[in-house]
Amino acid sequence: MTAVLRALSLLLARAWLRSLRLVVVESPALAAAAGRPRAFAFWHGQQFALVRWAAGRRLAALVSRSRDGALVARLLERLGVTACRGSSSRGGAAA
């Protein structure tokens, strides 16, 4: 039963991601540096919108070491995003 719920949650997440409309406003200087590593800042809990934009690109996200962070990390990894676990108080420097 758990495997079925995991599969359904992944399908639901992918369907939701396909429905997002996302606009990335980028500095011309960053656009000129295409292909080079970048860091993006976004509000907590908005990682999934970034996944929609980053389809086909290498992407890593800093995810909390909390229990709910573990759920987010697993789902992000299934969607192709490397999850770096850490926080300001627990393991942030190691992430």
User: How is residue 82 annotated by DSSP?
Assistant: E
CA 79/CA 13 separation, integer angstroms: 9
Query: Residue 48 class from Cβ within 10 Å (0-12 exposed, 13-18 middle, 19+ buried)?
Result: middle
Q: Tell me the mean pLDDT in the region 70-89.
A: 83
CA 81/CA 55 separation, integer angstroms: 9
Q: Where are the alpha helices (DSSP H) in the chain?
A: 2-19, 28-32, 47-53, 67-78
Amino acid, single-letter form, for residue 49: A
Q: Tell me the mean pLDDT in the region 30-40.
A: 74
Other CB atoms within 10 A of residue 35 CB: 6
Overall pTM surpassing 0.75 (yes/no) = no
Instruction: Work out the pLDDT band at 45, boundaries 50, 70, 90.
Output: low
